[in-house]
Chain A
Amino acid sequence: MPIDKVWVLAEVGDNGPTPVTLELLTEARAVASTVEAVAWGADVASLAGPLGEYGASTVHDIGDLGGALPGVPVAAAIAALAQGGNAPDAILMPATYDGRDVAGRLSAKLDRPVLTNVTGLVEVDGGLASQHPVFGGSHIVTARFTGAGPGIFVIRAKSFAAEPSGGAAAAVVPAAVPDVAATNTARIVERHVEERSGPKLDEAAVVVSGGRGLGDAANYALIEELAKLLHGAAGASRAIVDAGWVPYSHQVGQTGKTVKPTVYMACGISGATQHLVGMKGSKNIIAINKDQEAPIFSVADLGIVGDVHKVLPALIEALKAKS
């Protein structure tokens, strides 16, 4: 074990701890002898079972945030815990919207840097080091912290497989939020859920994504139809999200979602670094692009050099004929 104690920032979804939370707990067990979780929300006690099952012996319960964005109060509570003499060697955070906020705030509070976009943890010189894909995943950089204090690692989803340890329910210990009145002023006044039919983008077995090669926003309907026929989810490259064709929640890549489906189909996507990092781990990759030199073909198991405007309608017809 490279380190003694690690904390994992636990996030909660509709069905208990989120998948990435369980992935981080699983990996935490592999690198540290003691794993503890830090969680917030109205009913953290209900998480004691599942968090314990994945290896957390203790969950530090920050409680309900009363509509505040989590970044400020959660980081303040963690900093207070760490400065209370019981600091861990490392803190693992998911690379989510709130996880990155907490990491940034905590970094400034503890005067410790953050290592982000982590996809692996390894032992280097008896300490914990992290692996980061660079240049679209063609190279892996290994980095570690220097100096004293806990290392803050922000880890991409699906970097590790979640496996239960069969541990007992975690002990729930309250963690107080110190006075942060000056900065804790952002309030959520309303939540909006964007309805999506079919499986979630980051959980679907098949993902069909479209890019700039579609030529026009209206052609994204082809992507959606194809995704539906394959019982999959529709994704997008950053280029067409930037262009306003589809919402950010569809984005696959460095800034968007990381996906690892059984089949990933990239249609009219050139395969910029930004995109490859988010889908390279897919089991099978199909690429359709008219530019034979497009980088997406370097990761494709099947590449069709052709026009998406011809191949996609033909593919939709063929699949309809089969069903």
Chain B
Amino acid sequence: MNVVVCVKQIPDPAAPGALKPDTNTLDRSGKLIMDDSDNYGVEMALQLASGEGDEVTLVSMAPGGETSGLRTGLAMGAAKAILVSDDALAGSDALGTAKVLAAAIGRANPDLVVMATESTDGYTGTLPVQVAELMGLPSVTFAKAISVDGGSVKVERQTEAGYDEVVCPMPAVVTVTAGVVEPRYPSFKGIMAAKSKPVDNLTIADLGIDASQVGAAGAGQLITDVSEAEARSGGEIVVDEGDGAQRVVAFLEQLKVV
């Protein structure tokens, strides 16, 4: 079974984010790391594709041939990666990105495509389904458990009330919520091996995509303004001297909650 995992390489969420002053898009010029959300997808894929002849391929789109985040996924155990990097992709919206990823994923001829529900930096949360539609595949989103049975994937899909058991023939796109599996830490051996695993570097021309379809040129949306939100007025912050609980009770009494 071929499993593809889409991996996003993002600015470290621990560092304060910034918008580029000219376009108001997220500044991605610093060091990029593999999105934490993608740990779960990579782990899930490795668990599902653990049989003889099974293989996990990572697919990513990032500026400047960036592979540092991909190496994390390769170190966890993915066999190889496809990276699409092209100056024309700067400023792509989710649909433009989906077009690129759909073309790149198709090259790996997957039985199953696994993605995070949403990225940590952009959190648009529509890209996996856009990819599925562009590839003509079914999709099951918000999976909290996945198993493969013959030619079908069985998913426990999160709902407002609980979860649904969903069965879907493969090939299919499945998105996983965080926390579904315990991601492994790359071993030293894995980290060393990852350095020599193949990364297929592609441009949009390799994928037969026209520059007008993607990047800022193809984006159908525009940021018109960025402003500071109304801040909440400063509250009372006190250090607990053994009276913390009483202070909370007094506050709740004042609000007539108790």
Q: Decide: A244 and B229 in contact? CB cutoff 8 A.
A: no
Interface membership of chain B positions 225-251, coded 1 if the CB is closer than 8 angstroms to chain A and 0 otherwise: 111110110011111100011111101
Q: Which residues of A contact B136 (CB under 8 A)?
A: 182-183
Q: Which residues of A contact B124 (CB under 8 A)?
A: 114, 116-117
Contact of A103 among B16, B126, B177, B251 (CB under 8 A): B126
Q: Given contacts A101-B139, A103-B126, A188-B157, list 19 more A-B pairs with CB under 8 A.
A: A69-B166, A105-B132, A105-B133, A108-B133, A113-B220, A113-B221, A116-B126, A124-B225, A138-B229, A141-B19, A142-B227, A183-B138, A188-B164, A192-B164, A249-B158, A255-B117, A305-B237, A305-B240, A318-B245
Decide if A50 is an interface residue (CB 8 Å cutoff). no
Q: Which residues of B contact A138 (CB under 8 A)?
A: 228-229, 231
Decide if B128 is an interface residue (CB 8 Å cutoff). yes
Q: Which residues of A contact B16 (CB under 8 A)?
A: 135
Question: Can you sample 18 A-B contacts with CB below 8 Å?
Answer: A72-B138, A95-B125, A100-B125, A100-B141, A105-B133, A114-B94, A138-B231, A142-B227, A241-B179, A244-B182, A249-B158, A262-B257, A298-B231, A301-B251, A305-B237, A307-B240, A310-B244, A315-B244
Decide if A199 is an interface residue (CB 8 Å cutoff). no
Residues of A within 8 A of B (CB): 13, 69, 71-72, 75, 95-97, 100-101, 103-105, 107-109, 111-117, 124-125, 129, 133-135, 137-147, 154, 182-194, 205-206, 230, 238, 241-244, 247-249, 254-255, 262-263, 265, 273-274, 280, 284-286, 288, 292, 297-307, 310-312, 314-315, 317-319, 322-323
A113–B124 Cα gap in the complex (Å)? 11
Q: Which residues of B contact A307 (CB under 8 A)?
A: 240
The segment from B50-58, B167-175, B189-197 that touches chain A is B167-175
Report the minimum CB–CB distance from A181 to chain B (whole Å).
Answer: 10
Interface secondary structure of B, over-half rule: mixed
Q: Which residues of A contact B169 (CB under 8 A)?
A: 185
Decide if B61 is an interface residue (CB 8 Å cutoff). no
Q: Decide: A194 and B166 in contact? CB cutoff 8 A.
A: no
Q: Decide: B238 and A304 in contact? CB cutoff 8 A.
A: yes
Q: Which residues of A contact B29 (CB under 8 A)?
A: none
Q: Decide: B167 and A189 in contact? CB cutoff 8 A.
A: yes
Q: Decide: A146 and B167 in contact? CB cutoff 8 A.
A: no
Decide if B178 is an interface residue (CB 8 Å cutoff). yes
Decide if B162 is an interface residue (CB 8 Å cutoff). yes
A254–B160 Cα gap in the complex (Å)? 15
A-B contact count (CB 8 A): 272
Q: Decide: A242 and B126 in contact? CB cutoff 8 A.
A: no
A124–B224 Cα gap in the complex (Å)? 8
Contact of B222 among A116, A133, A143, A249 (CB under 8 A): A143
Interface membership of chain B positions 144-175, coded 1 if the CB is closer than 8 angstroms to chain A and 0 otherwise: 10000000000011111111111111001000
Contact of A100 among B126, B160, B229, B258 (CB under 8 A): B126
Q: Decide: A302 and B249 in contact? CB cutoff 8 A.
A: no
A315–B257 Cα gap in the complex (Å)? 14
A54–B136 Cα gap in the complex (Å)? 36
Nearest residue, chain A, Cβ from B218: A113
If A139-B227, A302-B247, A304-B240 touch, whether A193 touches B129 (CB-CB below 8 Å) is no
Q: Decide: A191 and B164 in contact? CB cutoff 8 A.
A: yes
Q: Decide: A142 and B224 in contact? CB cutoff 8 A.
A: yes
Q: Decide: A104 and B179 in contact? CB cutoff 8 A.
A: no
Q: Decide: A306 and B244 in contact? CB cutoff 8 A.
A: yes
Q: Which residues of B contact A109 (CB under 8 A)?
A: 133
Q: Decide: A193 and B251 in contact? CB cutoff 8 A.
A: no
Interface membership of chain B positions 91-135, coded 1 if the CB is closer than 8 angstroms to chain A and 0 otherwise: 001111010000000000000000001101001111111101110
Q: Decide: A186 and B179 in contact? CB cutoff 8 A.
A: no
If A145-B220, A302-B236, A310-B244 touch, whether A193 touches B162 (CB-CB below 8 Å) is yes
Q: Decide: A185 and B138 in contact? CB cutoff 8 A.
A: yes
Q: Which residues of B contact A262 (CB under 8 A)?
A: 255, 257
If A186-B168, A187-B168, A306-B244 touch, whether A107 touches B237 (CB-CB below 8 Å) is no
